[in-house]
A = this chain, B = another copy of it.
Amino acid sequence: MANSKYEYVKQFEQPDILLPSTWIVVRIDGRGFHKLSDRYGFIKPNDRRALDLMNAAAVEVMKELPDLCIAYGVSDEYSFVFHPSCQLFERRSAKLVTTIVSTFTAHYIYQWGTYFPSTPLQPPYLPSFDGRAVLYPTTRILRDYMSWRQVDCHINNLYNTTFWTMVQQGGMSNTDAERELQGTVSSDKNEILFKRFAINYNNEDEMCRKGSVVYRQYQLEDPKPESKSGHRDEDEAPVDESKTSKSQQDKLRKLRRKAQVVVDHVDIIKDEFWERRPWILSGKPGKLPEA
């Protein structure tokens, strides 16, 4: 029995190949994590176990997909970045996004017990994530995207830290704390924390203040003096690499697999992070650290 009679339905599949030579960011978000964090008793404002579990899952995604350059996570979201030269899955959008979402979910569920040993999952209320791909045409804009997420992390974390301190240590009601914080700027919140609770926000956990950066570790490089932002060659790189052969790409993947994937909590807005780790934006593996 041939299947030809019905095979015409394949014509309805539409291509979704992402524009070549652009940065691909796949951002995933926890679905209904507000409710979920209540159900599983996440600690406010930050549950270290939950963040560690997010990071552990992200590390596995980075290991599974050596084409990824870097990832950045905060709260229940994670952004994964493919280089403009990436040819994985022919740059098909749905394939890239669902592979990341599914791999992340699998490890998140699998490792739940490790991070929440006394809080087992309660089906059918399992954590899950949605995701989407966004294209950024230049390195400058990609870096602005990363900065956007880190600034957002800062804004939210300062607010949440202040709010929950006022409630938990100050004994205020949620409504009162919310009302008082309305319209305040950063310096106001810093002052509330410091004056009322003797908390210096800058001493708070770096993971909460800066979010988590995940990347492959090579030997740090000295920033070149004439370089201003580490993306001078941006123009040429994508073109050259998009023309690399399949075998060269496989070779690059192997090299990347050898590097250790690390989780860092550092500033990614300033140039220094990128200048000392040029392999992230160049897409070319650096030197492995000496043993």
Q: When the two chains form their complex, are residues B129 and A19 in contact, meaning their CB atoms are under 8 A apart?
A: no
Q: A209 CA to B287 CA in the complex, in Å?
A: 49
State which of B84, B94, B239 has its C-beta within 8 Å of the C-beta of A131.
B94
Contact A186/B1 with A102-B105, A105-B109 known, Cβ cut-off 8 Å: yes
Residues in A124-157 with C-beta less than 8 Å from chain B:
124, 126-141, 144-145, 147-148, 151-152, 154-155
Most chain B CB within a 10 A radius of its CB, from A106, A145, A235: A106
Q: When the two chains form their complex, are residues A14 and B19 in contact, meaning their CB atoms are under 8 A apart?
A: yes
Return chain B residues, CB-CB under 8 Å to A20. 11-12, 137
CB distance from A57 to the nearest CB of B (A): 10
Tell me which of A2-10, A196-204, A246-254 binds B.
A2-10
Q: When the two chains form their complex, are residues B9 and A148 in contact, meaning their CB atoms are under 8 A apart?
A: yes
A60 within 8 A of B: yes
CB distance from A151 to the nearest CB of B (A): 5
Return chain B residues, CB-CB under 8 Å to A5. 151
Return chain B residues, CB-CB under 8 Å to A103. 126, 128
Q: When the two chains form their complex, are residues B234 and A132 in contact, meaning their CB atoms are under 8 A apart?
A: no
Q: When the two chains form their complex, are residues B12 and A132 in contact, meaning their CB atoms are under 8 A apart?
A: no
Return chain B residues, CB-CB under 8 Å to A13. 132, 134
CB distance from A34 to the nearest CB of B (A): 16
Return chain B residues, CB-CB under 8 Å to A63. 124
Give the nearest-CB partner of A140 in chain B: B235
Q: When the two chains form their complex, are residues B94 and A140 in contact, meaning their CB atoms are under 8 A apart?
A: no
A243 within 8 A of B: yes
Most chain B CB within a 10 A radius of its CB, from A7, A130, A139: A130
1/0 contact string of A170-188 vs chain B (CB within 8 Å) = 0000000000000001100
Q: A134 CA to B239 CA in the complex, in Å?
A: 16
Q: When the two chains form their complex, are residues A98 and B130 in contact, meaning their CB atoms are under 8 A apart?
A: yes
Q: When the two chains form their complex, are residues B236 and A140 in contact, meaning their CB atoms are under 8 A apart?
A: yes
Q: A106 CA to B145 CA in the complex, in Å?
A: 29
Residues in A1-43 with C-beta less than 8 Å from chain B:
1, 3, 5-17, 19-22, 28, 31
